[in-house]
Amino acid sequence: MRSLALLSFVSTALAATYSLSDNHVGPDFLTSFTHEAIPDPTSGRVNYVDQATATAQNLTFTSPDSLVLRADATTTLTPTGPGRNSVRIKSVKTYTTHVSVYDIRHMPQGLSTWPAAWEVQEDGWPAGGEVDILEGANDVAPNQSTLHTAAGCTMPDGRAETGTPVSEDCGDSAGPNLGCGVHAPTTNSYGTAFNAAGGGWYAMERTPDFVKVWFWSRGDASVPADVSGNTGSVDTDNWGEPTAYFPNTDCNLASHFGQNNIIFDLTLCGDWAGAVYNSDGCSGDCVTYVNENPSAFSNAYWDIGFVRVYE
Ligand SMILES: *[C@@H]1O[C@H](CO)[C@@H](O)[C@H](O)[C@H]1NC(C)=O
Ligand SMILES: *[C@@H]1O[C@H](CO)[C@@H](O)[C@H](O)[C@H]1NC(C)=O
């Protein structure tokens, strides 16, 4: 009995422990991710370029401990020509049950910007699920983490999370691309305030039972050592209440989520940032703003310290 009890204790204790599988840092991203030179599926005023073009134009830049991804900030566009050059990168590997930790120093800011760090199965979307870890539009709001699934996946009330739910139906029936989102409770989780604080860490844990997202600002003394440092493994039981919690209570996560890639992108205007451009307090026309104001995009860049994946 004693050894049985010990065994069951050990297996419970191991439940939230994961080992490092992939440590994406600096130049690693040039081989562990591919540049998706595709028409923007969200109709943004961007022209996603391939890796050779992105590195030649310094839209993608790596140093030993940094990956910078930016939109072009020098070219005035012709209204009838292609959109502003930008970058969308996707991990070669796919992940199912895992923890991913994102160290982000700077995220794209500026009117018309719609940056996202997310995990998704693009084929057959939304059948294979999508988790938006960090996403927003026009610097302002909403700064949110969101699940997108096929119909038949909803989130219960009263979840153990520090954020505020904005919608509970993760499936298509909620409307086009709406999903079930949770607003982060702190302003420094997004945009100019995030950048002014030196960014921070986002982390996501996905299992068949739940998806959790956490955020710690750069100066946050409560950031766990296995988030800020490379300790070879993580134990999410020590990370405290998540910012966003998506349990499988009314959603079969095992069937709604498949093999997901990690994607970073930066689009401009489009289905979200363009649609809310005026209601977010920006005047005029979003696409015209993008065409005519290259220098407005000098801070429209990601600076990513690392993405570590644990399984
Ligand atoms: C490329 O971008 C990086 C990151 O912003 C910057 O440090 C570097 O000076 C740029 N290189 C050139 C040639 O402009
Ligand atoms: C983030 O969301 C919270 C809650 O909705 C809001 O109070 C805050 O102003 C937002 N911050 C930004 C930068 O949008």
State the closest ligand 1 atom to the C-alpha of 70, by its place in the atom list counted from 1: 5
Taking residue 124's Cβ as centre, other Cβ atoms within 10 Å add up to 9
**In-domain check, residue 5:** no
Which residue among 55, 60, 61 is best mutated to probe the pocket of ligand 1, counting the most ligand atoms within 8 A of its Cβ? Answer: 61
Which CATH number is 219's domain given?
A: 2.60.120.200
Q: Is there a domain that residue 269 lies in?
A: yes
> Which pTM was predicted?
0.92
Span 18-40, pLDDT tens digits: 999 999 999 999 999 999 999 99
In 3D, which of 25, 86, 112, 41 has the Cα closest to residue 292? 112
Q: Any idea which ligand is nearest the CA of 195?
A: 2
Total domains present in the chain: 1
Q: Report the distance separating Cα 306 and Cα 311, nearest Å.
A: 16
- Of 29, 55, 59, 68, the one to substitute when testing ligand 1's pocket (max ligand atoms within 8 A of C-beta) is 68
Q: How far apart are the first and last CA of the chain?
A: 31
Measured in Å, residue 287 CA sits from the centre of ligand 1 at 26
- The distance between the two most distant Cα atoms of the chain, rounded to a whole number of Å, is 76
Active site residue 119: no
Residues 6+ apart with CB under 8 A from 237: 15, 16, 17
More confident residue, 50 or 137: 50
130 an active-site residue? yes
* C-alpha 226 – ligand 2 centre gap (Å): 27
| pLDDT of res. 177 | 65
> Does residue 2 form part of some domain?
no
Q: Is residue 8 situated within a structural domain?
A: no
**CB-ligand 1 contact for 68 (6 Å cutoff):** yes
Residues in the ligand 2 pocket, defined by CB under 6 Å = 140-143, 164, 183-184, 187, 190-191, 193
Is 178 a pocket residue for ligand 1 (Cβ < 6 Å)?
no
202 pLDDT exceeds 70?
A: yes
How much of the chain, in percent, has pLDDT values that exceed 90?
A: 84
Cα separation of 62 and 286, whole Å? 30
Which residue type does 102 have? Answer: Y
Is 219 contained in some domain?
yes
Tell the residue nearest (CA) to atom 5 of ligand 2. 183
Give the active site residue among 36, 135, 161, 205: 135
pLDDT at 254 over 60: yes
Ligand nearest to the CA of 163: 2
Structure tokens at 170: 């993760």
Q: What is each CA distance from 279 to 8, 141, 288, in whole angstroms?
A: 54, 10, 17
The stretch 196-220 carries a mean pLDDT of 97
Which ligand lies nearest to the CA atom of residue 63 in the structure?
Answer: 1
Domain with 215, as residue range(s), is 17-310
CB 163 within 8 A of CB 172: no
Per-residue pLDDT at 233 exceeds 80 = yes
pLDDT of residue 102 exceeding 70: yes
- From the CB of residue 183, how many other CB atoms can be counted at a distance below 10 Å? 20
Residue 282: band (very low, low, confident or very high) from pLDDT cuts 50, 70, 90:
confident
Dist CA 44 CA 85 (whole Å): 11
User: 310 near 18, Cβ under 8 Å?
Assistant: yes
Residue 1 lies in a domain: no
- Asked if residue 8 has pLDDT above 70, the reply is no
Residue of 57, 58, 266, 301 to mutate, ligand 1, most atoms within 8 A of C-beta:
58
Mean pLDDT of 116-125: 94
Q: Is the CB of 259 under 6 A from ligand 1?
A: no
∠ at Cα 38 (264, 88), nearest 5°?
15
- 138: confidence class by pLDDT, cuts 50, 70, 90: confident
* Predicted pLDDT at 176: 65
Distance 186 CA to ligand 2 centre (A): 6
Q: What angle do CA 26, 28, 31 make, to 5 degrees?
A: 135
Of 262, 255, 287, nearest in space to 111 by CA: 287
What pLDDT does 136 receive? 86
CA distance 53 to 45: 18
CA distance 239 to 80: 50
Whether the pLDDT of residue 5 is over 70: the answer is no
pLDDT band at 13 (very low <50, low <70, confident <90, very high): very low
Assign 174 a pLDDT band (cuts: 50, 70, 90).
low
What average pLDDT does range 259-268 have in this prediction? 98
Q: Residue 68 Cα, ligand 1 centroid: separation in angstroms?
A: 9
Q: Is 4 part of a structural domain of the chain? A: no
Q: How many Å apart are CA 206 and CA 16, to the nearest integer?
A: 11
In a domain, residue 306? The reply is yes
